Amino acid sequence: MDRIKIIDVHEDVLANNDRAAEALRMRLHEKGTLLINLMSSPGSGKTTLLNATLDAVAGRLSVGVMEADVDSDVDAYAVQRHGARAVQLHTGGMCHLDAAMCEQGLRELGTDGLDVVFIENVGNLICPAEFDTGAARKVMILSAPEGHDKPLKYPLMFEVSDVVIVSKMDVAEHFDFSLEELERNVRARNPQARIMPLSAKTGEGMQQWVDWLLGEVAAWQG
């Protein structure tokens, strides 16, 4: 019988995932496809924002969407009707996407000719923040009804995001929600984050978001 070996490994469990994510990011950079990881709680308006975004960039950007859900395919059909190439990923009960799942989804979607691909991540403010999917930008949505205290409760999500979209601003006045307090809470965690209050339903504030998106795609392809 072989002797028992004790091996000092000291390897970060997510190191493999991080390497796979970095390789994916580089491949997508060469192809000129900007991958954006869109994260939020369930019901914050991810699909509504995507549909409004698709309408706003129609004819200017070709867009793909990977819908990640534990089950169902209602969201993929919804964004297809607004002109996106879409695939539905089922995570099989997992609470997030990682780089391998994302790569598999991109293969199925086919990135040829796409300027931008959105990952509509599983609705959850905790787990998706922990895993690098290979996306070049991270955008999170907080809907006004969720409250301005969320950066205090889910700090990592707010720390890792490049953009914090504050959705459903058209109904904010009916809730106990202060945009100033929210901005203060986000800034305490992430001074660089772009904060964009908007309503995908009324169109208020959408221009800033669409301009950001067009600028990021141009820079990525530059």
Examine residue 148 and tell whether it contacts another protein (CB under 8 A).
no
Examine residue 4 and tell whether it contacts another protein (CB under 8 A).
yes
Among 51, 114, 131, 141, binds another protein (CB under 8 A): 131
Examine residue 180 and tell whether it contacts another protein (CB under 8 A).
no
Examine residue 5 and tell whether it contacts another protein (CB under 8 A).
yes
Among 8, 30, 112, 180, binds another protein (CB under 8 A): 8
Nearest to 31 by CA among 139, 110, 121, 138: 110
Query: Rounded distance, CA 18 to CA 133, Å?
Result: 8
Helix (H/G/I), strand (E/B), else coil: 34: strand
| Phi, psi angle pair for 68, to nearest 5° | -105, 125
Edge-to-edge strand order for the sheet containing 116-120? 85-90, 63-69, 116-120, 34-40, 137-143, 163-167, 194-197
Minimum distance, C-beta of residue 49 to another protein, in the bound complex (Å): 24
Which range of residues in 13-21, 41-49, 71-79, 174-182 is near another protein by CB under 8 A?
Answer: 13-21
Examine residue 2 and tell whether it contacts another protein (CB under 8 A).
yes
Minimum distance, C-beta of residue 136 to another protein, in the bound complex (Å): 22
Q: Which of residues 85-114 bind another protein (CB under 8 A)?
A: 93-96, 98
C-alpha distances (whole Å) from 86 to each of 90, 111, 154, 180 are 13, 11, 29, 36
Residues binding another protein: number (CB under 8 A): 31
